[in-house]
Amino acid sequence: MTAKAAKALDEKLKKDIGISVLVLMENAGRSLAAEGLRILNGKKDVALFCGKGNNGGDGFVCARHLLAYGIKPDVFLAGRISDVQGEARANLNILRKLKIKITEIDENKLAFIKQKIPKYDLIIDALLGVGLSGEVRGICRDLIGIINSAKAKVLSGDIPSGLDATTGRILGVCVKADKTVTFMAEKRGMIKACGPKVCGKVIVVDLGVPV
């Protein structure tokens, strides 16, 4: 699917079929957590980088499912909690009620992240999704650089942050994933241009509905 087709499918599922974004987000985050557990294979240290949109919401759900399996991930938000809205905010609020700390990241916290990053066994990338069109800027650009400098395995949700889902072009910077769990169908950009170099092994999972 192209980015446009993926967005249209989400709208169709919500408006025509009646499946809420919360249900889709739940299934996406659960699938991401399941693959994370396979990569960890008994290890425990996980960093989860979330954006402010629905890709970040998938990450918040992922964190909750990891917690259910006895793994307490460090959750980092690229921005402020007050900027997170809608279904993503609903899942963020659940994490806070479960006493999972959400660390808001700005320029002043980058040195702290660089110091912590070597300890992780797995980094989960839920920063930016298929809706990205312009170049990555600001704190997300800095965090992608830090993620790519780490020795840990990297798992991306839906698409590596910074990859154009339609063209396969890197939008300034891009997470280089070891695996990508993508939802419902491969995105066209994963098999074009730079896509194969940054996606790693692509695993397609369903979200409980036919495509």
Range 37-41, long-range pairs (CB < 8 A, 24+ positions): 37/66, 37/69, 37/71, 39/122, 39/153, 39/155, 39/178, 39/179, 40/71, 40/121, 40/122
User: Is residue 181 one of the residues assigned to a domain?
Assistant: yes
Q: Using 50, 70 and 90 to split pLDDT, how confident is the model at 142?
A: very high
DSSP state at residue 100: -
Is residue 211 predicted with pLDDT exceeding 80? no
Can you tell me which residue has the tokens 């905010």?
A: 89
Averaged pLDDT score across all residues of the chain: 96
How far from 113 is each of 78, 130, 160, 193, CA to CA, in Å?
A: 12, 25, 19, 31
User: Is residue 103 one of the residues assigned to a domain?
Assistant: yes
Report percent pLDDT > 70 for the chain: 100
User: Is residue 211 one of the residues assigned to a domain?
Assistant: no
Q: Using 50, 70 and 90 to split pLDDT, how confident is the model at 143?
A: very high
Is residue 209 predicted with pLDDT exceeding 90? no
Q: State residue 160's pLDDT score.
A: 98
User: Is residue 120 one of the residues assigned to a domain?
Assistant: yes
Q: State residue 184's pLDDT score.
A: 95
pTM of the predicted protein model: 0.97
Domain count, the chain: 1
> Domain limits at 148?
3-205
**CATH number for the domain that contains residue 11:** 3.40.50.10260
User: Is residue 210 one of the residues assigned to a domain?
Assistant: no
Q: State residue 133's pLDDT score.
A: 87
User: Is residue 11 one of the residues assigned to a domain?
Assistant: yes
User: Is residue 130 one of the residues assigned to a domain?
Assistant: yes
